[in-house]
Amino acid sequence: MIKVLLLADTHLGFDLPSRPRVDRRRRGPDFFACTRRALEPALAGEVDLVVHGGDLLFRSKVRPGLVAQALEPLLEVADRGVPVVLVPGNHERSALPYPLLAMHEHLHVLDRPRTVRLDLAGTRVAVGGFPCERDEIRDRFRALVSGCGLREADAAIRLLCLHQTVEGARVEGHTFRSGRDVVRGCDIPPGVAAVLCGHIHRSQVLRSDLAGRALAAPVFYPGSVERTSLAEREEAKGYLTLEIGADGQPGGRVISHEFHELPARPMVCTSVDASGLTSAELEQRIREELGAVSAEAVVSLRIEGELLPGSGRVLREEGLRTFHPPSMTVAVRLPSPVSA
């Protein structure tokens, strides 16, 4: 039996400018902190393999220093002798920038359809996959999986690693059913213990297609490590650990899995109706609204109604920052136009 740690969608570099023009709390360190927290079991020697399901970075065009900074936590795990497999996601445009920075004998980047063979805990393990594909993946998925050579690998445990949307995956208010970028459930291959997947930010496990037919292998989404948008404000964020056994079933099977919640920052939506309020009254209402939420929150503050002449000055960024603790991150949505 082996133990695998699965994380994905770390989006490192988000809200982390190299030369910030405004002195305020940035969200960038939150993403790094949750990523490092997720990797603690690997650094402690509690798992045999780490899989990163893609979107290590928040976008593809970044400076080399950010890539080095983003890879550092994974390389620390690799330095401990724990193999790390990384699937480039759509935010990397399916290719890790500055790939030479990822050179390490224990860090394996699935930069093309291929399979990595590992000996873990006395067990031969094959880990295969390919970078995120958005071009007609629905019709090309089987061929891409075949091109990995995973199912032909001589291994007791086989794992397929992807950064794709699989039929039945859910996000807030929506279930993915069809589309050129959605993998059919019936195309999940047999002969693998599990599909370890990034791209969907909500943690979930898919075991059947939309018609109720069992998938050939379960699909595991760990979700993102931090909240990336207000649509995710009700979702727990974290990573997965899986125990996978080689007990005679072709490719092995998942014996157990566990979701581990990370201390993602709370997100709050709130609003203030500015209709008829003087600048002093508007300031007081905003202070009251922000005072009612956690000092660590990421807040979306919507200003509604018609502003009185002169009250718009209250909403200037430098003034707003005095209305809440520095530990809070506030974004204001203003009515248009705003009176000066």
Looking at the predicted structure, is the pLDDT value of residue 110 above 60? yes
Distance of CA 238 to the CA centre of its chain: 9
Q: What's the CA gap between 126 and 251, in Å, rounded?
A: 9
Instruction: Give the H/E segment covering residue 336.
Output: none
Instruction: Give the H/E segment covering residue 298.
Output: strand 298-304
Rounded to 10 degrees, the C-alpha dihedral 262/173/51/205 comes to: 100
The 10s digit of each residue's pLDDT in 33-47 is 999 999 999 999 999
The 10s digit of each residue's pLDDT in 299-317 is 999 999 988 988 888 888 7
Looking at the predicted structure, is the pLDDT value of residue 338 above 90? no
Is the distance from CB of 190 to CB of 216 less than 8 angstroms?
yes
Q: What's the CA gap between 146 and 191, in Å, rounded?
A: 12
Residue 339: which pLDDT band, with cuts at 50, 70 and 90?
Answer: very low
Residue 336: which pLDDT band, with cuts at 50, 70 and 90?
Answer: low
Mean pLDDT of 240-246: 97
302: amino acid identity, one letter:
R
Question: What are the C-alpha distances in Å from 329 to residues 264, 268, 297?
Answer: 13, 10, 6
- Residue 123: helix, strand or coil by DSSP? strand
Q: What's the CA gap between 217 and 164, in Å, rounded?
A: 15
Quick one: tokens of 280? 């002093």
Question: What are the C-alpha distances in Å from 157 to residues 2, 36, 246, 302?
Answer: 9, 27, 6, 51
Ramachandran region of residue 196, left (φ > 0), alpha (ψ -120 to 50) or beta?
A: beta
Q: What's the CA gap between 268 and 109, in Å, rounded?
A: 37
Sign of CA dihedral 50, 55, 58, 64: positive
Model confidence, pTM: 0.94
Q: What's the CA gap between 57 and 74, in Å, rounded?
A: 13
The 10s digit of each residue's pLDDT in 146-167 is 999 999 999 999 999 999 999 9
Tell me how long the chain is. Answer: 340
Question: What are the C-alpha distances in Å from 108 to residues 22, 54, 119, 121, 252?
Answer: 38, 13, 14, 18, 21
